[in-house]
Chains A and B, each alone.
Chain A
């Protein structure tokens, strides 16, 4: 995208501890404004240097504090992601569960490295009820941004590199602020690694943005038009949201792969990502889950909860898809209106030229200008519709897919336990038969097998319980996040509409006296 590659990022101090604030204030006021400022329109063409947003010095992260920071689970009215004002009360009594029990996460079983900057007691939840009373805990002091897309290389081997900047006070990182360069396949690689490790535990792994051969090819080929600029910006924003969701997840944040992704200068090239994009992985899960979901046997009492929630998820996904399609077509309609308005404006200008009454002629020209301005407004509104609303919906459609995957994962775990139980049963039957037939050596083997399978049954039962707990917790966390996310994005969208209407009013107010002056 032309505008963003023009931007020189503020020098994120590695050694120096200086806030880039002062540097940025002197340069173009719209540099960096669109990174975190919630309201500004990220579309390159619509950058209006005269918009109000450009006034503030554009430190990458100070803007974040006033708008959507990590995970946009923090609403725009909150200033800092850490201590949200009305959440202070919550922290007084919160019982935070540090889910360090995942057997698959390696060096973090004791949660030793993880020292959140909040002072609160960390106790394990003892029951489901406690879990549900858990208050908002995910406001870590951690912010990430994805900026400065740059095209590296030429032709079909070219790729876009994105700057990933982190600012944190978490001690597990080497520095407080740092940045690295990553490409799209790196993000996909991260997702794969996390999936492999965590999805079996019922974690909701945020899915990355989808691959797009068409979009990328245009960029590679060097088509320097608005559509490829849009594509790059769309992808950048999506990658940023993806990363923000990952670091917002308490367990995933602990994963060394995440840390490596954020910190390490050179990442080994992620291989095999061309075969397995996020969508591909999800498809795999979906296929498996289709088979599993055919089982309709009730498991236990708490299963009703899972059943209900799964149904909710499925119907919500449908709703979102429908809504997304409609928003898409709304965007197209607005673009069409845009074009027609521009054409009309020109026509009006011509008419104004023909008109031989001076005052009327001038008024008609003014009208043509107003219509021209309307066209710009329509265009910006279309971009808002798209970048804010449509992308939000698309994100959540993917996320809901991931949530479904979790539920299916739990079902598979249950299945495994059931199968182990039936195998155990069979082994016991074999033992009984052998007792009758009196074959001591085979009997010994049978007894050993029974012990083995008893162990497995216990193990699998525990696994199932554990995954149920995790899925439940994950789901609740997800619901909260989703609700916050939607709210803040919709507020953002409405605010952009609001600004548009304000300008609407201004334009017509300026025109009215001209019309009245006709004589």
Chain B
């Protein structure tokens, strides 16, 4: 099935106050969902001289976003920055499965019920689609807003090169390599984290992030489960409303309307709460990665110092040791310098994002509750009125 998305219809849920200045503005102006892939139209407006035009668009797929993200991660120059987390893979499997199940169960429900449920599942599919577009867009915007990353060569190629980047997905061997790299990294991470930091700020951040990340992970999964429960009530209410129609038309209408409101509540909770938590789960991981890189650099630096002392003591390979130590020192200091600011920015972004989303969540919950209330009041009034 194909779906396109109008330009205006997007949800920038998790980012606030991004420095979108006129020199570089990026957004996803359109998207197309085909059988097993999504094609995003990345639209750029820029006054920077490096681009051939001031406004242009290219079509990109998910793998190309991942390629870009990975290129940042692997770039030593960017070791001192929080790399904006990669957008999650578009996943319509669950939704497709539901639509399929509905098709199979068509015989067991009335035409009316079937149509309604189909509409709802299609709306759900569309919502997932919108979300994945938003996630990919947020990634690009974060990159464009970052003072250093926005200048990256690969990023410009990504934005401008109007052919396929020929970025193939990782083959099995590469995936295995990645897997082992991650294992080593997390083991190393534990080692590195064990080293007490000289700097109080970073020591505090380390502890904070570790705990925060775990709790966000927990909150994210629990919120998902809760919202799923909320959504799963819908089909039952649908049947109730059609059955009650035989007895009380007004009540059936009421149920139908409140059901729709309930569905909106679940969808809004999903957007404002669940997505928020998911995003900060990923960002807090990226922040942790930054701390790990700094920690690694610190360990390397300390080791280099020890090696230098040894070399001086033995008076052997001193120059080599000095060079090595200097390199490590520079690397460490470079990372530390930018890392501090990055972490402060992360906090600011996080607080702002939570504020925005929690306020919007509360306002929406209120709106829906009041809507429900009104419907109930009017229905009760009508029922009591005509005896």
**Shortest Cβ distance from A353 into B: residue:** B215
Say whether B165 faces chain A, with CB atoms less than 8 Å apart: no
Contact pattern, B 250-268, Cβ under 8 Å of A = 1, otherwise 0? 0100100010000000000
Contact pattern, B 351-379, Cβ under 8 Å of A = 1, otherwise 0? 10011001101110110011011001101
- Closest CB of chain A to B234's CB: distance in Å? 9
Contacts of A323 in B (CB 8 A): 239-240, 243-244
Q: Looking at the complex, which one of B215, B246, B363, B372 makes contact with A351 (CB distance below 8 Å)? A: B215
Residue contact A322 to B219, C-beta cutoff 8 Å? no
Q: Considering the chains assembled together, what is the distance between the CA atoms of A323 and B232 in angstroms?
A: 17
Say whether A519 faces chain B, with CB atoms less than 8 Å apart: yes
Residue contact B243 to A326, C-beta cutoff 8 Å? yes
Which candidate, A21-29, A57-65, A337-345, is the interface stretch facing chain B?
A: A337-345
Say whether A265 faces chain B, with CB atoms less than 8 Å apart: no
Residue contact A498 to B211, C-beta cutoff 8 Å? no
Say whether B380 faces chain A, with CB atoms less than 8 Å apart: yes
**Shortest Cβ distance from A483 into B: residue:** B247
Contacts of B195 in A (CB 8 A): none
Which candidate, B47-55, B220-228, B292-300, is the interface stretch facing chain A?
A: B220-228
Contacts of B237 in A (CB 8 A): 330
Residue contact A490 to B383, C-beta cutoff 8 Å? yes
Q: Considering the chains assembled together, what is the distance between the CA atoms of A347 and B384 in angstroms?
A: 43
For chain A residues 326-370, which have a beta carbon within 8 Å of chain B? 326-327, 329-330, 333-334, 336-337, 340-341, 343-344, 347-348, 350-351, 353-357, 359-360, 363-364, 367
Residue contact B351 to A354, C-beta cutoff 8 Å? no
**Shortest Cβ distance from B280 into A: residue:** A351
Q: Looking at the complex, which one of B222, B244, B376 makes contact with A497 (CB distance below 8 Å)? A: B376
Contacts of B232 in A (CB 8 A): 333, 336
Q: Considering the chains assembled together, what is the distance between the CA atoms of A86 and B387 in angstroms?
A: 9
Residue contact A330 to B226, C-beta cutoff 8 Å? no
**Shortest Cβ distance from B238 into A: residue:** A326
Q: Looking at the complex, which one of A356, A495, A512 makes contact with B359 (CB distance below 8 Å)? A: A512
- Closest CB of chain B to A353's CB: distance in Å? 8
- Closest CB of chain A to B293's CB: distance in Å? 22
**Shortest Cβ distance from B364 into A: residue:** A508
Say whether B35 faces chain A, with CB atoms less than 8 Å apart: no
Residue contact B225 to A360, C-beta cutoff 8 Å? no
Residue contact A495 to B212, C-beta cutoff 8 Å? no
Q: Considering the chains assembled together, what is the distance between the CA atoms of A519 and B215 in angstroms?
A: 21
Contacts of A319 in B (CB 8 A): 243, 246
Say whether B156 faces chain A, with CB atoms less than 8 Å apart: no
- Closest CB of chain A to B201's CB: distance in Å? 12
- Closest CB of chain B to A470's CB: distance in Å? 26
Contacts of B216 in A (CB 8 A): 351
Contacts of A326 in B (CB 8 A): 236, 239-240, 243
- Closest CB of chain A to B133's CB: distance in Å? 27
Q: Considering the chains assembled together, what is the distance between the CA atoms of A512 and B355 in angstroms?
A: 10
Q: Considering the chains assembled together, what is the distance between the CA atoms of A412 and B243 in angstroms?
A: 33
Q: Considering the chains assembled together, what is the distance between the CA atoms of A351 and B376 in angstroms?
A: 35
Q: Looking at the complex, which one of A336, A350, A491 makes contact with B215 (CB distance below 8 Å)? A: A350
Contacts of B355 in A (CB 8 A): 360, 363, 515-516, 518-519
- Closest CB of chain B to A133's CB: distance in Å? 19
**Shortest Cβ distance from B234 into A: residue:** A333
- Closest CB of chain B to A1's CB: distance in Å? 27
Q: Considering the chains assembled together, what is the distance between the CA atoms of A151 and B344 in angstroms?
A: 65
Q: A330-B233, A367-B358, A486-B248 are in contact. Are A494 and B254 (CB under 8 A)?
A: yes
For chain B residues 171-224, which have a beta carbon within 8 Å of chain A? 208, 211-212, 215-216, 218-219, 222-223
Q: Considering the chains assembled together, what is the distance between the CA atoms of A341 and B229 in angstroms?
A: 9
Contacts of B363 in A (CB 8 A): 512
Residue contact A494 to B387, C-beta cutoff 8 Å? no
Contacts of B219 in A (CB 8 A): 344, 347-348, 350-351
**Shortest Cβ distance from A484 into B: residue:** B387
Say whether B151 faces chain A, with CB atoms less than 8 Å apart: no
Say whether A466 faces chain B, with CB atoms less than 8 Å apart: no
Q: Considering the chains assembled together, what is the distance between the CA atoms of A356 and B12 in angstroms?
A: 25
A residues contacting the other copy or chain, number (CB 8 A): 54
Contacts of B240 in A (CB 8 A): 323, 326-327, 330
For chain A residues 483-507, which have a beta carbon within 8 Å of chain B? 486-487, 490-491, 494-495, 497-498, 501-502, 504-505
Residue contact B215 to A347, C-beta cutoff 8 Å? yes
Say whether B230 faces chain A, with CB atoms less than 8 Å apart: yes
Say whether B347 faces chain A, with CB atoms less than 8 Å apart: yes
Contacts of A327 in B (CB 8 A): 236, 240
Residue contact A494 to B226, C-beta cutoff 8 Å? no
Say whether A4 faces chain B, with CB atoms less than 8 Å apart: no
Contact pattern, B 76-99, Cβ under 8 Å of A = 1, otherwise 0? 000000000000000000000000
Contacts of A334 in B (CB 8 A): 233
Q: Looking at the complex, which one of A316, A337, A515 makes contact with B226 (CB distance below 8 Å)? A: A337
Residue contact A518 to B351, C-beta cutoff 8 Å? yes
Q: Considering the chains assembled together, what is the distance between the CA atoms of A360 and B377 in angstroms?
A: 36
Say whether A444 faces chain B, with CB atoms less than 8 Å apart: no
Q: Considering the chains assembled together, what is the distance between the CA atoms of A350 and B277 in angstroms?
A: 13
Contacts of B230 in A (CB 8 A): 337
- Closest CB of chain B to A126's CB: distance in Å? 30
- Closest CB of chain A to B185's CB: distance in Å? 24
Q: Looking at the complex, which one of A77, A330, A355 makes contact with B387 (CB distance below 8 Å)? A: A77
Residue contact A509 to B366, C-beta cutoff 8 Å? yes
- Closest CB of chain A to B214's CB: distance in Å? 8
Residue contact B376 to A498, C-beta cutoff 8 Å? yes
**Shortest Cβ distance from B359 into A: residue:** A515
- Closest CB of chain B to A415's CB: distance in Å? 33
Q: Looking at the complex, which one of B208, B215, B222, B373 makes contact with A505 (CB distance below 8 Å)? A: B373
Q: Considering the chains assembled together, what is the distance between the CA atoms of A326 and B241 in angstroms?
A: 10
- Closest CB of chain B to A223's CB: distance in Å? 28
Contacts of A367 in B (CB 8 A): 358
Q: Which of B216, B350, B366 has the most chain A CB atoms inside 10 A of its CB?
A: B366
- Closest CB of chain A to B279's CB: distance in Å? 14
- Closest CB of chain B to A307's CB: distance in Å? 20
**Shortest Cβ distance from B366 into A: residue:** A508
**Shortest Cβ distance from A339 into B: residue:** B229
Q: A343-B222, A355-B212 are in contact. Are A337 and B351 (CB under 8 A)?
A: no
Say whether A75 faces chain B, with CB atoms less than 8 Å apart: yes
Q: Considering the chains assembled together, what is the distance between the CA atoms of A323 and B362 in angstroms?
A: 34
Say whether A511 faces chain B, with CB atoms less than 8 Å apart: yes
Report the 10 A-B pairs with minimum CB-CB distance, sorted nearest first.
A518-B355, A337-B229, A515-B358, A340-B226, A344-B222, A504-B369, A512-B362, A330-B236, A323-B243, A347-B219
Between A and B, 22 residue pairs with Cβ closer than 8 Å are A77-B384, A316-B246, A326-B236, A326-B240, A326-B243, A333-B236, A337-B230, A340-B225, A340-B228, A344-B225, A344-B226, A347-B222, A354-B211, A357-B350, A490-B248, A491-B383, A501-B372, A504-B365, A505-B370, A508-B362, A512-B362, A515-B355
**Chain B interface residues (CB < 8 Å from chain A):** 208, 211-212, 215-216, 218-219, 222-223, 225-226, 228-230, 232-233, 236-237, 239-240, 243-244, 246-248, 251, 254, 258, 347, 350-351, 354-355, 358-359, 361-363, 365-366, 369-370, 372-373, 376-377, 379-380, 383-384, 387
Give me 16 other A-B pairs in contact (C-beta within 8 A), A316-B246, A322-B243 excluded. A323-B239, A326-B236, A326-B239, A326-B240, A336-B229, A343-B226, A344-B223, A347-B223, A351-B215, A351-B216, A351-B219, A354-B208, A363-B358, A494-B380, A498-B377, A502-B373
